[in-house]
Chains A and B, each alone.
Chain A
Amino acid sequence: MAGSNEVNANESKMVVPLHTWVLISNFKLAYNMLRRPDGTFDRHLAEFLDRKVPANASPVNGVVSFDVVIDRTNNLLARIYRPAPPNPTTPLADLHRPPSSDPFPVIIFFHGGSFAHSSSNTAIYDSLCRRFVSLCGAVVISVDYRRSPEYRYPCAYDDGWAALKWASTEPWLHSGKDAKLRVFLCGDSSGGNIAHHVAVKAAESGIEVSGNILLNPMFGGNHRTESEKRLDGKYFVTIQDRDWYWKAYLPEGANRDHPACNPFGPNGMKLEELPFTKSLVIVAGLDLVQDWQLAYTEGLKKAGKEVKLVYREQATIGFYLLPNTDHFYEVMEEIKNFVTCNLKQPANI
């Protein structure tokens, strides 16, 4: 046993740059300490260890951010990122003005963390969201959704939905001659999962979504897939930790074929009749849950929904956190193209 684990450590070191290895290994170490075998979570230590940054209404690399309270009753916050307003002397006055008279994308972003970790002010996600602004000229809304195990399904989805509804009522987020909200739902890991489910709700409720962007989305199911077995423990992630997070998020007594976890599984919902949006799904070839992500993509296709799959063979989880690989830059390009293309065209109806 010990011998094969030594091999594991060596393998992950061979495929990621040093910085990435240090960053992700650090998270792995910290996260291992936070998950307790009895299913509880050391939230205090988690918040202590999490690296956070405040919002900043002064421009940094042409981007400003500020936090808003979306719902006072449950303290639902979001961090808004946008291009710096043109007048440098009065940045605050123009925070709520549209960044452009031309149509611009609004990206509602759901950070990852397997439903339990991170916040909208976590440094790695603040960095990523700022990048999205520069990349796409977008206004990015990063939702500080409630996390498990304190808040299980469907809290994260409810918060995501609340954020989408809120965005649809903010006049300054509407653009173009038709004054529309040109919204994309985007997320990594659990955030990708949330983006899917919020998109379903949007489709059911008649809110038009221009596109979904799912980065290494978190899906699963009861049976063990080939990729899970093959890659267990090899690239920072184990089946055991995946199981723990699902157990912490799903309702008590539910298994991983619950539709939240397995949307195209035995309990999944049929999307054929719904105006569900187009999707860009990015899968890392060394992510052990890739079989579930690929099955998700297949499920969308079978339901007649447009989906583009970007498969990065040698990428591990978290490749999009550091701008130090081709994976990073090429995937950012894909995202930019997806957003630009779907900004002008109407969503798939």
Chain B
Amino acid sequence: MKRGHQDTLHGGGGWYAVAPEMERGKRKTTMGAAEEGGEVDELLAALGYKVRSSDMADVAHKLEQLEMAMVSSAATNDDALLSHLASDTVHYNPSDLSTWVDNILSELNAPPPPLPTPPALTSPDAYDLKPLPALPAPAVPLVLGSDLQSEVTPSPRDRKRMKVCSSPPSSSTTTDAATSAAAALPVVVVDSQEAGIRLVHALLACAEAVQQDNLKAADALVKQISMLATSQGGAMRKVAGYFAEALARRIYRPQPRGGVGCCSFDSVAFDDMLHMHFYESCPFLKFAHFTANQAILEAFAGCRRVHVVDFGMRQGMQWPALLQALALRPGGPPSFRLTGIGPPQPDNSDALQEVGWKLAQLAESIRVDFRYRGFVAASLADLEPYMLLDQDADGGGGGKDEEPEVVAVNSVFELHRLLARPGALEKVLGTVRAVRPRIVTVVEQEANHNGGTFQERFTEALHYYSTMFDSLEGGAAAAGADDGGPDQALSEVYLGRQICNVVACEGAERTERHETLAQWRGRMDRAGFEPVPIGSNAFKQASMLLALFAGGDGYRVEEKDGCLTLGWHTRPLIATSAWRVAAPAEDPLSASAAR
């Protein structure tokens, strides 16, 4: 056998001699592995698997063990093992092959008792704010709580979860991922006809002209774009329209304040209204709420007192479903406290309190002990930890030994705004750390609309929003409608305002500073958080939820490094991730050196 390009072939016993050494080395590096930073094998990394070179033989050894176990169970005609591994086991972070294989081996060695049939949680109605009388029979059982049973009773899996979170060998790849993420440009071309391509070219050329301060050329191109756009149909025409308008604003720089349009201070109520129509017309917000709730539910397993802090309360659409799931969980609901943060209302109305009151009514109808507090804040950076901490520790319990409350912080499309002011994000993350949350759920747009030059930002945004608009069209078409009606139209306005902000605004006014998962990972890591992987159970349920949603065919859920993304066709558009405060490094000096 020629050996030119080959790895060393291992004869029969070769691997076994290596494995025990690796075992020892690996155990040492499991916790705090990010600081150790062993080299990730390049060959497998190119194919989506992160395995340290030093772990390779060990992983092979474990795969062999699994093979033996499968074979012997097949020999006894025992399908139960495989079916257990498929349907009952929750899988996490398949890219981290070593830990994935470890988890399966643990399943083999300590399978949990068979789970009783879980109560079915219900339909999308759960996401409405109307108080539900009795829980209706579901069309499709969407079980938010089923997999929790295995978590409530202490099991080897709980301890395993801890191991899962720390081991992904990502430190050496974090920077790479961030760099390549910044440079990567996912493009889905929907309209490859001449006219569509010319329109995209004109838009890009206009952005280039703006970049080069060639306002005369830019002006001419804006006019050309408008002409080309009229010959287009559907999503491309609308997107081109919004981008052209935004370009025009940038070129002519209208008054930033008091004027009509994207950057002016519209009423919060108008904003919330657009948000609700966006919620109705496509699954992005539902997916965000659903996946964040799943992570929160799992984090709250077995806790008797819980507290959720919502960084963007709005109409509170995320919380009825969580309340219901908590009501139904085995062992009964915890006492539930909700803190809702919202912007100041110019008309002095107290929308924040109204929302809380409606949720309280719902909670009462399903018998969940509920407390609510609303906070008005112009910026999340105005929050201080004392505002979020539990001030009435008694909760009316009167002198008993109370469990400390377990906190979840939830942010859906809020963190990126903080990037408009230096230091704001760091302050907010510091505040979050100070309340020592069990889990922090973050949903953000999966795009880099905050880096590089204006031209680069424009290009990214053009492709991102083209895909977004296409999904609105596609969803409506698949649902058999000619158009999505007012929901779709208002959703387009909602997205159009984001486009305007990304393209026409700068400085503190440019609040739509979306960044990719890889970039957020870096930021959270630097702020002292580590990832909590979201597993296959949440993935499956999110996928099933999508199937319920008419027009679901083009939407795709993907798993990436423990996070879930929802996209249109092959382009991820939003990402849900979960975090917790990182365990302190053993040696603070080496930790900071590694950063």
Query: Which residues from chain A sit less than 8 Å from chain B, CB to CB?
Result: 1-2, 5-6, 9-10, 13-19, 21-23, 25-26, 28-30, 32-34, 36-37, 42, 44-45, 47-49, 51-58, 66-69, 72, 75, 77, 79, 90-93, 95-96, 120-121, 123-124, 127, 144, 170, 314, 321-326, 328-329
Give 17 new A-B contacts, CB below 8 A, not counting A54-B184, A55-B571.
Answer: A6-B68, A9-B67, A17-B8, A18-B15, A22-B59, A29-B101, A29-B104, A33-B85, A44-B540, A44-B544, A54-B572, A57-B186, A67-B186, A68-B190, A75-B554, A91-B185, A314-B1
A18 and B64 in contact, given A36-B83, A324-B6 (Cβ under 8 angstroms): no
Selected contact of B189 from candidates A17, A47, A95, A322, CB within 8 Å: A95
Is B91's CB within 8 Å of the partner chain A? yes
In the complex, A211 Cα to B44 Cα: how many Å? 31
Across the interface, name the chain B residue whose C-beta is closest to A325: B6
A127→B104 CA distance, assembly (Å): 28
Interface code B46-59, partner A: CB below 8 Å = 1, 0 otherwise? 11110100001101
Cβ contacts B1-40/A at 8 Å (1 or 0 each) = 1101111111110010000000000000000000000000
Answer whether residue B364 sits at the interface, using C-beta atoms and an 8 A cutoff: no
Q: Hey, which bits of chain B sit against chain A, CB under 8 A?
A: 1-2, 4-12, 15, 41, 43-44, 46-49, 51, 56-57, 59-60, 63-64, 66-68, 70-72, 75, 79, 82-83, 85-87, 91, 94-95, 97, 101, 104, 183-190, 192, 197, 200-201, 204-205, 208, 459, 474, 477, 536, 539-540, 543-544, 553-554, 556-559, 569-572
Q: Identify the 3 closest CB pairs spanning chains A and B, nearest first.
A: A51-B48, A17-B7, A123-B48
| Contact call B44/A19, Cβ cutoff below 8 A | yes
Distance in Å from the Cβ of B57 to the closest Cβ of chain A? 7
CB nearest neighbor in B for A1: B75
Q: Which residues of A contact B57 (CB under 8 A)?
A: 18
Q: List 7 A-B contacts (CB under 8 A).
A: A13-B60, A14-B10, A29-B101, A32-B82, A47-B559, A69-B190, A323-B5
Contact of B60 among A15, A25, A49, A92 (CB under 8 A): A25
Out of B4, B44, B539, name the residue touching A44 (CB < 8 Å).
B539
B91 touching A48 by the CB < 8 A rule?
yes
Q: Which residues of A contact B536 (CB under 8 A)?
A: 44-45, 48-49
Q: How many angstroms from the CA of A45 to the CA of B186 in the assembled complex? A: 25
Q: Whole-angstrom distance from the CB of B9 to the nearest CB of chain A? A: 6
Q: Which of B2, B72, B185 has the most CB of A within 10 A?
A: B185
Complex contact B570–A44 (CB within 8 A): no
B2 touching A92, Cβ below 8 Å: no
A92 to B46, CA, bound (A): 24
| Chain B residues with CB below 8 A from A75, complex form | 474, 553-554, 569
Among B87, B188, B204, the residue within 8 A (CB) of A93 is B204
Set of chain B residues within 8 Å of A325, measured between Cβ atoms? 5-6
Number of A-B pairs, beta carbon distance below 8 Å? 205
**Is the CB–CB distance between B64 and A9 below 8 Å?**
yes
> A329, B8: Cβ atoms under 8 Å?
no
B576 CB to closest chain A CB (Å) equals: 14
Q: Which of A13, A18, A25 has the most CB of B within 10 A?
A: A18
Instruction: State the CA gap A13–B57 with chains docked (Å).
Output: 11
Kindly list chain B residues whose C-beta atoms are within 8 Å of the C-beta of A55. Answer: 186-188, 570-571
Say yes or no: A51 contacts B10, CB within 8 Å: no
CB nearest to B200 among chain A residues: A92
Shortest CB-to-CB span from A93 to chain B, Å, is 5
On chain A, the residues within 8 Å of B558 by CB distance are: 47, 52
Contact A17 B9 (CB under 8 A): yes
Q: Are A58 and B64 in contact (CB under 8 A)?
A: no
Q: When chains A and B are docked, how far (Å) is the Cα of A42 from the Cα of B192?
A: 34
A159 to chain B, nearest CB (A): 15
> Could you tell me if A49 and B91 are in contact, using CB atoms closer than 8 angstroms?
yes
Smallest Cβ-Cβ distance to B572: which chain A residue: A54
A96 and B85 contact, CB distance less than 8 A: no
Report if A329-B569 is in contact (Cβ < 8 Å); known contacts: A33-B82, A48-B91, A58-B183: no
Cα distance A226–B205 in the bound complex, in angstroms: 63
Assembly CA distance A91 to B186 (angstroms): 12
Which of A14, A25, A68, A323 sits near B192, CB closer than 8 Å?
A68
Contact B67 A25 (CB under 8 A): yes
Residues on the A chain within 8 Å of B66, using CB: 29
The answer on a CB contact under 8 Å between B5 and A2 is no
**B10 touching A2, Cβ below 8 Å:** no
A75 to B15, CA, bound (A): 46
Cross-chain contact B187 with A18 (CB below 8 angstroms): no
A151 → chain B, closest Cβ, in Å? 12
- Distance in angstroms between the alpha carbons of A91 and B189 in the assembled complex: 14
B95 to chain A, nearest CB (A): 6
CB distance from B55 to the nearest CB of A (A): 10
**Complex: chain B residue closest to A236, CB-CB:** B67
B43 and A19 contact, CB distance less than 8 A: yes
